[in-house]
């Protein structure tokens, strides 16, 4: 089946009028966070109760993707009245239905006028929590696949790349490589077989932006990939998702079969000569498999170990064919850019970092969950306005960005805008978007040790500096937190960090020392207190004698 | 991918272009597809290596061959880096020498390399590297992990205590012998070379018993049985010969 | 040239390095004119002197007494030389580090002491091993530079006599010995 624009518009119209036919709609978050605290049961209970009351044509219950405030789940949203409910129990169901025509159930209401909702700018997550990710029609009703249609029928590949370049979009996978430039290289790469890979490995501890997008709006990623394929001359794509994301995989597969049925992937897409195939590939959840060359090895069925670059994947990638790897969030930005134009996108964010970024806000902060904010929002706004500050009147100490490859940013930089270059300047990275807030009770040495333990156990073991160096650093950090380290070991720590950073083969090793280096830079006194005074300033670490 | 010069040239006559660059301030010339390491060796400039072995695919993993490029802070592994016209390579700056020493020291701490009681004592590349790089002690604490010895094969023996994970055995078995008996499992510090699916070597059905792995192993990890301390010297002359006779196959980025 | 005072000691080692020292043969005589050996397993003195210019330490730090001694040595010597592989890498004494102390002792003093037919094959004995009269074994044998700062390293198992001589000659001449090429681990 091949659709044309009228068909698309028809589907959208029908879908919208269906929606408008209901007096009330209740959206139940069915993303992994809420699902794990029972939102599935709530949806069922709501549906049963609606049917029992004979209100099927009056009130519509929809399962949707992530609503953002994951820590307060299960969450419901009532788009007709604009209110949100948090911490809903099955027993609340009758009351919720009773109140539909009156004022909302006060005890469940989650204030929607707060900065948490107000300050967000939603591009990547615009459909999250608003549409049923398991129905392609709902995506189409929100202008879905209009960008693809426009790209395929009205634009040349060069025009698309120009749009992407002009938008200033940079890779959301961590390094912030200009996406337009990557696409341009890929378009220039020679060979009749080329591949596009969507990197959904998301191995950073605490990060779940990509999972959320894949679970809440899988078609957006598919659309981005097909556009990328057309723009760069690739006809085959792979979405690499970790197997620990079963729900994302399930929804992706479903979305793929729907898109295929409607002819958004396959042969002669939208009656053009362009064809594109797309498959899901599962990763076994190794952090290093997020690294491009290891990811390629993993898809090829070999061990997920990086190889030296150059040659880069755009020259020698999957099975030695030119291959372009983009992050989930990067690809999720493509369709809106095509639809609304590069100028619109370039108008959001800072001079060198355009658009928005999704963060997984976690740690010692009142509102934990998923947020999407314009680039350049200050850390203070994120932590105190959107995040609601530190719980129980605690004192802010640092925020960790970029996961195991990132760094800890102290209070003095709270007013720094969050963009690629500012973060790099203070020794951290944007990373994929994990953001962990720490208060006075966190010992920074212990934080560094936690991330080093992660890198040590995720090191693939190929190159010596990372394989053995991370272990040696971890041992020293362990000694410091146990107040058993000497100054000689402290010097050795700095020395090892420098070694691993400069001599490791891949990004994992090269960035593994970052959490240590930034804490050494900004919280040196905490290290020294463990060594000289044998005490932990934060009171978090146990001394060796106490451990034994 | 070859870069084509602006004027149409006959690529059948010029399959690879020539260029000149500098290593340690000496002018050298190279094909564009020769590595910095091989050009250095042609000019008798010594760059220490461990995972590299002539005749096997490159792995770029030990990082001992790192060199500096003038004007850049980035260090490049010479065994997998191709020169560019007018590049200035420095192989012996204080910086790279210090890094190499530290990397070698890390290798010594990783497993139990007891040279004095090793069958390869005196014929060991790790030991020689220590001399070459002037490593007379190891600054980092030894880790003393516990590893096995697999002596189940009738003629050979593997002592994981002495393995440096260069994976030469894996490569030679796959690329030259074509048996792919060896592989690697685990990750990070728990990586381990294995025969078949981690079965005792003696029970391997794929092992042809050719012994190439033993000959390419840089240390006393893979040895012939019946050798006593310092008796296990290795013969590798066959490698370049076999490679030449079979024609070098592509896919050198595989491992 | 003023004479320098020299001490040599062995901790957890096999005395092989000291044998190599003696293997200097007639060159030893030249050396004797330039050094005073104040303390050594080769001489009678039982107490480590208050001050020595150079101490050669053979062997790893392996038990209570080694730990005590190595601290005294550092305090009372101007130059400490890690003498041989055991002092530098823990070498053969370090091969026990992979096993718990009890298992090592069990193996060495109980299983191997019994005639083969009576060996219990790893079964722990009921009595265990007492440390009443001998120093307590540390969990691991460690290189001496993990315990104290060391000035020079003389690798080798044992270091060849000419390397020992070279090192001492250089120290006598007030130069820094460049050990590169003279010896190696396991030599
Ligand atoms: C150790 C390591 C882990 C990585 N993990 C991820 C990941 O989980 N997801 C991701 O998109 N990119 C990850 N990357 C970055 C990718 O290698 C690659 O740069 C990125 O997917 C490119 O996409 P982008 O240009 O859209 O950012 C990782 C890189 C390294 C070195
Ligand atoms: S840096 Fe670490 S993860 Fe990367 S190749 Fe080396 S060992 Fe593997
Ligand atoms: S020889 Fe180049 S990295 Fe090992």
As for the ipTM of the complex, it is 0.91
Per-residue pLDDT in tens (0 to 9) along chain A, 548 residues: 677 888 888 999 998 888 888 888 899 999 888 989 899 999 999 999 999 988 888 889 999 988 888 888 899 998 888 888 999 999 998 888 888 888 888 888 888 888 888 889 999 999 998 999 999 999 999 999 999 999 999 999 999 999 999 999 999 998 899 999 999 999 999 989 999 999 999 988 888 999 999 999 999 999 999 999 999 999 999 999 999 999 999 999 999 999 999 999 999 999 899 999 999 999 988 999 999 999 999 999 999 999 999 999 999 999 999 999 999 999 999 999 999 999 999 999 999 999 999 999 999 999 988 999 999 999 999 999 999 999 998 899 999 999 899 999 999 999 999 999 999 999 999 888 899 999 999 999 999 999 999 999 999 999 999 999 999 999 999 999 999 999 999 999 999 999 999 999 999 999 999 999 999 999 999 999 999 999 999 988 876 555 44
8 Å CB contact of C186 and B130: no
Q: What per-residue confidence (pLDDT) applies to B9?
A: 63
Dig out the tokens for A275 from the structure: 């064809």
**A158-162, A326-330, B26-30, C114-118, range with the lowest pLDDT:** C114-118
The phi and psi torsions of B113 (rounded to 5 degrees) equal: -90, 95
Output the average pLDDT for chain C.
Answer: 89
8 Å CB contact of B107 and A460: no
For CATH 3.10.20.740, list the domain ranges present in chain B: 18-92
Dig out the tokens for B180 from the structure: 């792919």
Region class of A461: left (phi > 0), else alpha (psi between -120 and 50), else beta: left
How close are the terminal C-alpha atoms of chain C, in Å? 32
**CATH dotted code for A356-439:** 3.10.20.600
3-state secondary structure A271-292: HCCCCEEEEEEEECCCHHHHCH
Residues sharing a CB contact under 8 Å with residue A88, sequence separation 6 or more, in sequence order = A39, A42, A74, A75, A76, A96, A108
Closest alpha carbon to A336 in A132, A200, A163, A218: A163
* CB-based burial, A97-132: b 16+ in 10 Å, e otherwise: bebbeeebbeebebeeeeebbebbbbbbbbbbbbbb
C4-97+140-172 folds as Rossmann fold (3.40.50)
DSSP A266: B
| pLDDT at B118 > cutoff 70 | yes
A144-345 folds as Rossmann fold (3.40.50)
| pTM of the predicted structure, to 2 decimals | 0.92
A1 C-beta neighbours (distance < 10 Å), count: 8
Please give the Cα distance from B23 to B41 (Å, whole number).
11
Are the CB atoms for B181 and B204 separated by under 8 Å?
Answer: yes
**A27-36, A411-420, B237-246, C83-92, range with the lowest pLDDT:** B237-246
Listed by start position, the domains of chain A span 20-112, 144-345, 356-439, 444-547
**CATH dotted code for B18-92:** 3.10.20.740
Look at ligand 2, atom 1, and give the residue with the nearest C-alpha.
Answer: A509
B126-163: pLDDT as tens digits:
999 999 999 999 999 999 999 999 999 999 999 999 99
For residue A311, cis peptide bond before it (omega within 30 degrees of 0): yes
B162-197: pLDDT as tens digits:
999 999 999 999 999 999 999 999 999 999 999 999
User: Per-residue confidence at C21, pLDDT binned at 50, 70, 90?
Assistant: very high
The phi and psi torsions of A215 (rounded to 5 degrees) equal: -80, -30
Beta bridge partners of C5: C36
Please give the Cα distance from B67 to B47 (Å, whole number).
8
3-state DSSP call for residue A333? coil
Domains A144-345 and A444-547 share a fold: no
Are the CB atoms for A463 and B63 separated by under 8 Å?
Answer: yes
Are the CB atoms for B91 and B22 separated by under 8 Å?
Answer: no
Beta bridge partners of A437: A363, A399
User: Per-residue confidence at B1, pLDDT binned at 50, 70, 90?
Assistant: low
The finding on whether A174 has its CB within 6 A of some atom of ligand 1 is: yes
Look at ligand 1, atom 4, and give the residue with the nearest C-alpha.
Answer: A290
Please give the Cα distance from A20 to C138 (Å, whole number).
79
Mode of pairing for the β-strands spanning A83-85 and A109-110:
antiparallel
Q: Please tell me the number of the ligand nearest to residue A305's CA.
A: 2
**A162-166, B220-224, C99-103, range with the lowest pLDDT:** C99-103
Are the CB atoms for A516 and A444 separated by under 8 Å?
Answer: no
Mode of pairing for the β-strands spanning B75-77 and B66-69:
antiparallel
Closest Cα in chain B, distance from residue A300 (Å): 11
For CATH 3.30.70.20, list the domain ranges present in chain B: 98-239
For domain A444-547, which architecture applies?
Answer: Up-down Bundle (1.20)
Q: What per-residue confidence (pLDDT) applies to B255?
A: 37
Distances in whole angstroms, Cα of residue B149 to Cα of each of A376, B161, B162, C83:
57, 8, 10, 30
Ligand 3 center to B66 CA (angstroms): 7
Residues of B in contact with A503 (CB under 8 A): 63, 66, 75, 99, 103
Does the structural domain B98-239 have CATH classification 1.10.1270.20?
Answer: no
Q: What per-residue confidence (pLDDT) applies to A251?
A: 95
A20-112 folds as Glutaredoxin (3.40.30)
Q: What per-residue confidence (pLDDT) applies to A548?
A: 43
| pLDDT at B105 > cutoff 50 | yes
Closest Cα in chain A, distance from residue B225 (Å): 29
Average pLDDT of the residues in C75-102: 95
Residues of B in contact with C146 (CB under 8 A): 141
């Amino acid at each position: 089946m091949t659709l044309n624009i009228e068909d698309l518009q028809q589907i959208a119209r029908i879908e919208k009028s269906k929606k408008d036919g209901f007096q009330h709609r209740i959206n139940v978050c069915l993303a992994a966070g809420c699902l794990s605290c029972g939102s599935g049961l709530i949806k069922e209970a709501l549906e049963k109760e609606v049917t029992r009351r004979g209100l099927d044509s009056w009130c519509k219950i929809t399962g949707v993707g992530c609503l953002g405030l994951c820590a307060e789940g299960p969450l419901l949203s009532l788009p007709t009245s604009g209110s949100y409910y948090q911490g809903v129990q099955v027993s609340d169901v009758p009351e919720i239905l009773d109140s539909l025509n009156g004022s909302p159930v006060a005890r469940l209401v989650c204030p929607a006028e707060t900065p948490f909702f107000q300050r967000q700018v939603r591009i990547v997550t615009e459909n999250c929590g608003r549409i049923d990710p398991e129905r392609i029609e709902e995506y189409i009703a929100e202008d879905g696949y209009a960008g693809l249609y426009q790209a395929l029928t009205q634009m040349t590949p060069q025009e698309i790349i120009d749009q992407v370049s002009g938008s200033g979009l940079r890779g959301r996978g961590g390094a912030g490589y200009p996406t337009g430039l990557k696409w341009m290289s890929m378009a220039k790469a020679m060979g009749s077989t080329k591949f596009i890979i969507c990197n959904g490995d998301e191995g950073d501890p605490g990060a779940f932006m990509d999972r959320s997008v894949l679970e809440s709006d899988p078609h957006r990623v598919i659309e981005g990939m097909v556009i990328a394929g057309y723009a760069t001359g690739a006809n085959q794509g792979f979405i690499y998702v970790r197997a620990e994301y079963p729900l994302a995989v399930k929804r992706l597969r479903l979305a793929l079969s729907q898109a295929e049925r409607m002819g958004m992937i396959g042969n002669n897409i939208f009656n053009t000569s362009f064809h594109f195939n797309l498959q899901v590939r599962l990763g076994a959840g190794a952090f290093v498999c997020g690294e491009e060359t290891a990811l390629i090895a993993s898809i090829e069925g070999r061990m997920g170990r990086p190889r030296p670059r150059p040659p880069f994947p755009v020259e020698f990638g999957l099975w030695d064919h030119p291959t372009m790897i983009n992050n989930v969030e990067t690809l999720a930005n493509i369709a809106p850019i095509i639809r609304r134009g590069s100028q619109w996108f370039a108008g959001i964010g800072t001079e060198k970092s355009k658009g928005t970024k999704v963060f997984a806000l976690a740690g010692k902060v009142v509102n934990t969950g998923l947020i999407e904010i314009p680039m350049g929002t200050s850390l203070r706004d994120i932590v105190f306005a959107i995040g609601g500050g530190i719980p129980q009147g605690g004192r802010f100490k640092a925020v960790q960005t970029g996961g195991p490859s990132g760094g800890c940013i102290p209070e003095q930089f709270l007013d720094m805008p969050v963009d690629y270059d500012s973060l790099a300047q203070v020794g951290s990275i944007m990373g994929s978007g994990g953001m962990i807030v720490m208060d006075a009770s966190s010992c920074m040495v212990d934080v560094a040790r936690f991330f080093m333990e992660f890198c040590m156990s995720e090191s693939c073991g190929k190159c010596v500096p990372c394989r053995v160096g991370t272990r040696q650093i971890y041992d020293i950090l362990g000694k410091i937190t146990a107040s058993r380290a000497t100054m000689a070991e402290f010097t050795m720590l700095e020395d090892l960090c420098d070694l691993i950073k400069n001599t490791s083969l891949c990004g994992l090793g090269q960035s593994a020392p970052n959490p240590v280096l930034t804490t050494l830079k900004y919280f040196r006194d905490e290290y020294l207190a463990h060594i000289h005074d044998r005490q932990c300033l934060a009171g978090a670490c146990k001394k060796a004698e106490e451990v034994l | 991918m070859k870069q084509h010069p602006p004027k149409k040239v006959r690529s059948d006559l010029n399959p690879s272009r020539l260029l000149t660059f500098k290593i340690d301030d000496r002018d050298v010339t190279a094909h564009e597809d020769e590595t910095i390491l091989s050009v250095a060796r042609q000019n008798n400039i010594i760059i220490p290596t461990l995972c590299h072995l002539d005749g096997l695919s490159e792995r770029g993993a030990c990082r001992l061959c790192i060199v500096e490029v003038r004007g850049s802070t980035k260090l490049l592994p010479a065994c997998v880096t191709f020169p560019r016209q007018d590049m200035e390579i420095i192989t012996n700056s204080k910086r790279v020498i210090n890094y190499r020493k530290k990397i070698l020291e890390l290798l010594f701490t990783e497993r139990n390399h007891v040279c004095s009681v090793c069958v390869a004592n005196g014929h060991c590349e790790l030991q020689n590297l220590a001399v070459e790089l002037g490593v007379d002690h190891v600054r980092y604490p030894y880790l003393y992990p516990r590893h096995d010895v697999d002596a189940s094969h009738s003629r050979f023996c593997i002592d994981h205590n002495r393995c440096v994970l260069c994976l030469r055995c894996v490569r030679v078995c796959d690329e030259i012998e074509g048996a792919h008996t060896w592989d690697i499992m685990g990750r990070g510090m728990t990586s381990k070379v294995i025969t078949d699916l981690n079965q005792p070597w003696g029970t391997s059905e794929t092992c042809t018993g050719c012994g190439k792995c033993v000959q390419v192993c840089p240390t006393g990890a893979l040895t012939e049985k019946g050798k006593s301390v310092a008796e296990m010297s290795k013969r590798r002359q066959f490698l370049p010969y076999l490679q030449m006779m079979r024609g070098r196959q592509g896919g050198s980025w595989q491992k | 040239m003023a004479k320098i005072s020299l001490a040599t000691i062995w901790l957890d080692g096999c005395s092989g390095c000291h044998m190599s020292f003696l293997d200097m043969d007639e060159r030893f005589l030249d050396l004797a004119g330039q050094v005073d050996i104040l303390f050594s397993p080769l001489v009678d003195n039982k107490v480590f002197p208050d001050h020595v210019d150079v101490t050669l330490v053979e062997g790893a730090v392996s038990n209570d007494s080694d730990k005590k001694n190595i601290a005294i040595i550092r305090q009372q010597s101007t130059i400490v030389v890690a003498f041989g592989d055991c002092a530098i890498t823990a070498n053969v004494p370090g091969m026990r580090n992979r096993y718990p102390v009890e298992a090592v002792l069990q193996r060495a003093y109980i299983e191997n002491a019994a005639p083969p037919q009576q060996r219990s094959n790893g079964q722990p004995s009921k009595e265990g091993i007492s440390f009443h009269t001998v120093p307590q074994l540390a969990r691991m044998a460690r290189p001496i530079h993990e315990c104290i700062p060391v000035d020079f390293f003389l690798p080798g198992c044992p270091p060849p006599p000419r390397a020992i001589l070279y090192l001492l000659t250089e120290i006598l001449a007030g130069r820094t010995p460049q050990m590169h090429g003279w010896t190696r681990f396991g030599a």
